[in-house]
Structure 1
């Protein structure tokens, strides 16, 4: 079995069922499959072969799933790219992934053009829209007229995705997932959240994220669900379409729930069709969770605590468990084993803190072209997450710290080392450390603690302007603190936990 067999089956047996709804456009499963085939056959004609990498840098739209499945049908490996990244950041991903073709929204054509400069591996840039730069081609020109299913012979063992996630070094690493692993992500999600073909899904989180992509779009397509796609998160539009399309399964990051609660007339929307809600990607405060339950009129909330290297996969806190284990991350999801171990790999006792590790059919195959990093993360079939956690006597795991130095702002992961590497290029900075501090809306925001060079002054606006050349907007520091010197240990390493302790009580609005 492979990831697109479900699409082809639904096209055959449920061809007239609405599959993808976007901006008043409705595509049936038969149309969905034909559009994916047009992409696949064009890729094959261009010369794409099994295992070749093809990048997608797009906002959510109806074209995203068409292109995603088209790449898979051609035997290619999909490389989703965060559309918020700068050209320098995109350049690294394209080069590291060995991507041969890039599909991108036409408003990103300049970013893609700059990112591909000097990269001989990128042979074609396909713009989704009506405009293009020199040496680029429009999707409308690229599509094949052939709508038949290609006969490539894609197996479960063939690679399907490379998802980029930064490590503690700040350099992005490509998480390789084959069809087998992503299929098992879908199987686990179906069993845990009881998804069936009658469900109506709403995609408001970015589809380049592993959660929205693998947990929900892939699963929904496999089952033949009706899927409503929003290009960006808009509170009123989200509430409107939940009511209009009778969405039954809703997933969002905690920040999105918070924004929905701020809509003054939200009571006028009928949200009763929603029977299950999922949240993840960031911690959800208990008060926010309780308010969200009241807004949707259901206690059927699932805490989905996973990581990209897991497929995503990890632990779930089921709705009934919220009543007795509220605040815990959960227990291992279906098809997954989870443990918390000490530095010797031995299970810790309740009350102790150790490293959260998982073993599953869903965990990554490897970090692409990074054997040493792979060896550190995968040991005897277990994925060592780097997250610190506790476990109680009932086996419920609670994460007490995220991967070292990582910041989660509005559901987006920001790695402090990556930001620091840019800040250290500033001519007036002597030393700098980046930490996350509380934010009333985003959960956390990026703060830079710095030591200026003698006689130099640095202001926040100027520093932000400097960062915009190399960092996506959500990674840029929003708060600036000046110190005479950074706290360090005997080996010279900055003690970031001390900085977090000092500034943790300062909540930013």
Structure 2
């Protein structure tokens, strides 16, 4: 039976009717089947209503992965309210910005995180996790689902803010349903699968895993956080068959010492957007897991992707049914295959995309959306990611892809992770700077790293500046915060290839 749901409440009710006592969710010591999940969601909606929450109200959440957050996200959608799960890493001005943009009617969270919100200036109604007056399933009479429309906002999810202030994305009810169907099809999910994720529930990836499970009757396990050293043991404990990662996590797992747990699990396929091409083969060989890449964002859906049967290292995939994708130039005119340009996407699935940003105008569901990603469409229809447009480095008249520089750096045996970004040049345009993290116990020589890059990259892309650090600044979802690196720029600890060359030659270095 194919799912006919068009909203989150319809998906919850349909799944309860189809799958009943099949296990649905394990999280923090709580295990629920599909029927129990429907009861809990309706009960949470009733508890919210009893505390004054009405359809359209926004309920901000500041809490880690826990059953209360799942209930809140699904319960708000059931009631017609709007869940706003906030990044638990936000503090000070960044948290103040998110709260100012979201304008929540209520805040629900863990005490230490709520204290941060109060310090940031929030003065609205507040519920603390575990308090007697906090809304929770079973604390009030259950209510029937609100007559939600597919286009009604179910949640507001904030972008990661790696290149600027984060934006609140209005995610409609149907967007989550389409995410569930699209990714479920790409991963070839069945009712026999157990899905495992340690990604946070303020991220679209983790929320959409719930929708994928409901679509086919699979079971899902949510963990509290990602740990490279414990990942495979946690996956084994969950008896998972499918894993969910982000591309930045793959090199971290490969950097761990080999051990008996590498293959002592049941996972054979995983969703891992933005996986570095050179890591794909070693990951499958070592861990027995075939990774599936793709393009999707908080604002869109799984527009481009592949399946475990046809995945190709370093390529995002082909356009999925129900969507369109083009590569365009700065004037938004299509460019020929093999030419880099900005990816723009469009949906033919009704309300599969966001309806815009908080504070911004509504965006029609079927309008073309700019992604800010620089990609290439190959002649056979497969798409290859080049870079975020804001991360492209302009050096001596050439566009340098930070993504390609980082991929070259990761092929060095002593490098775990790397970030490339532009810094000002004395002559004009940019210089290439990289910050790298060494493998445990390894010693990185910047000059050796530059020579390695010279064998992998054209001369104009070889980094001038190299700095070795113990860790990169990351968001809670593992994305590198390049804005922080660009702001810091060249420091006293940065190695300068031009300066090193001048010392060796005894001459004053030419322009960088």
The normalised TM-score by structure 1 is 0.73
Per mean C-alpha deviation after superposition, the further-off stretch among 143-152 and 380-389 is 143-152
Change (3 A) 1:23 1:363: closer
Query: Shift of residue 90 of structure 1?
Result: 1.8
1:222-241 mapped onto 2 (5 Å cutoff): 222-241=215-234
Per mean C-alpha deviation after superposition, the further-off stretch among 258-267 and 85-94 is 258-267
Query: Shift of residue 125 of structure 1?
Result: 1.5
User: Which residue in 2 is equivalent to 1:357?
Assistant: 344
Conserved in 2, the CA contact under 8 Å of 1:37 and 1:146?
Answer: no
Conserved in 1, the CA contact under 8 Å of 2:300 and 2:353?
Answer: yes
Tell me the distance in 2 between the aligned counterparts of 1:395 and 1:319: 18
Tell me the distance in 1 between the aligned counterparts of 2:90 and 2:132: 22
Change (3 A) 1:328 1:138: same
Change (3 A) 1:207 1:169: closer
Tell me the distance in 1 between the aligned counterparts of 2:152 and 2:60: 17
Query: Shift of residue 74 of structure 1?
Result: 1.3
Query: RMSD of the alignment, in Å?
Result: 3.9
Change (3 A) 1:342 1:404: same
User: Which residue in 1 is equivalent to 2:360?
Assistant: 370
SS state at 2:61 partner: strand
SS state at 1:319 partner: coil
User: Of residues 349, 352, 368 in structure 2, which corresponds to 1:382?
Assistant: 368
Q: In the alignment, does 2:349 pair up with 1:344? A: no
SS state at 2:8 partner: coil
Change (3 A) 1:167 1:343: farther
User: Which residue in 1 is equivalent to 2:276?
Assistant: 285
Tell me the distance in 2 between the aligned counterparts of 1:242 and 1:14: 24
User: Which residue in 2 is equivalent to 1:315?
Assistant: 304
Q: In the alignment, does 2:164 pair up with 1:162? A: no
Conserved in 2, the CA contact under 8 Å of 1:55 and 1:79?
Answer: yes
Tell me the distance in 2 between the aligned counterparts of 1:9 and 1:31: 13
Conserved in 2, the CA contact under 8 Å of 1:18 and 1:27?
Answer: yes
Tell me the distance in 2 between the aligned counterparts of 1:327 and 1:473: 19
Change (3 A) 1:482 1:345: closer
Change (3 A) 1:21 1:320: closer
User: Which residue in 1 is equivalent to 2:129?
Assistant: 128
Conserved in 2, the CA contact under 8 Å of 1:58 and 1:83?
Answer: yes
Gaps of 5+ in 1: 130-136, 418-432, 443-459, 461-471, 485-499, 504-509
1:306-455 mapped onto 2 (5 Å cutoff): 306-311=296-301, 313-322=302-311, 325-360=312-347, 361=349, 362-371=352-361, 381-405=367-391, 437-440=434-437
Conserved in 2, the CA contact under 8 Å of 1:258 and 1:441?
Answer: no
User: Which residue in 2 is equivalent to 1:452?
Assistant: none
Tell me the distance in 2 between the aligned counterparts of 1:224 and 1:294: 30
Change (3 A) 1:171 1:203: same
Query: Shift of residue 402 of structure 1?
Result: 0.6
Conserved in 1, the CA contact under 8 Å of 2:340 and 2:374?
Answer: yes
Tell me the distance in 2 between the aligned counterparts of 1:369 and 1:15: 41
Change (3 A) 1:327 1:30: same
Per mean C-alpha deviation after superposition, the further-off stretch among 146-155 and 73-82 is 146-155
Query: Shift of residue 363 of structure 1?
Result: 2.2
Tell me the distance in 1 between the aligned counterparts of 2:319 and 2:138: 44
Gaps of 5+ in 2: 1-5, 393-401, 407-418, 423-429, 440-466, 468-478, 500-512
Change (3 A) 1:52 1:104: same
The normalised TM-score by structure 2 is 0.72
| Deviation digits for residues 42-67 of structure 1 (CA, Å, limit 9, x no counterpart) | 21122222222111222112322112
> Larger % of strand: which?
1
Tell me the distance in 2 between the aligned counterparts of 1:340 and 1:473: 25
Query: Shift of residue 434 of structure 1?
Result: 12
Number of aligned pairs? 424
User: Which residue in 2 is equivalent to 1:244?
Assistant: 237
Query: Shift of residue 339 of structure 1?
Result: 0.9
User: Which residue in 2 is equivalent to 1:207?
Assistant: 201
Tell me the distance in 1 between the aligned counterparts of 2:433 and 2:9: 40
Tell me the distance in 2 between the aligned counterparts of 1:350 and 1:35: 50
User: Of residues 162, 175, 179 in structure 2, which corresponds to 1:181?
Assistant: 175
User: Which residue in 1 is equivalent to 2:7?
Assistant: 2
User: Which residue in 2 is equivalent to 1:81?
Assistant: 86
SS state at 2:344 partner: strand
Change (3 A) 1:68 1:139: farther
Change (3 A) 1:392 1:478: closer
Query: Shift of residue 191 of structure 1?
Result: 1.9
SS state at 2:49 partner: helix
Change (3 A) 1:473 1:286: closer
User: Which residue in 1 is equivalent to 2:295?
Assistant: 305
Change (3 A) 1:305 1:267: farther
1:481-492 mapped onto 2 (5 Å cutoff): 481-482=489-490
Tell me the distance in 2 between the aligned counterparts of 1:483 and 1:245: 44
User: Of residues 165, 185, 195 in structure 2, which corresponds to 1:191?
Assistant: 185
Which of structure 1's runs of 4+ aligned residues deviate more than 4 A? Answer: 137-144, 166-169, 269-272, 406-409, 433-436, 472-484, 500-503
Conserved in 1, the CA contact under 8 Å of 2:62 and 2:114?
Answer: no
Tell me the distance in 2 between the aligned counterparts of 1:173 and 1:435: 28
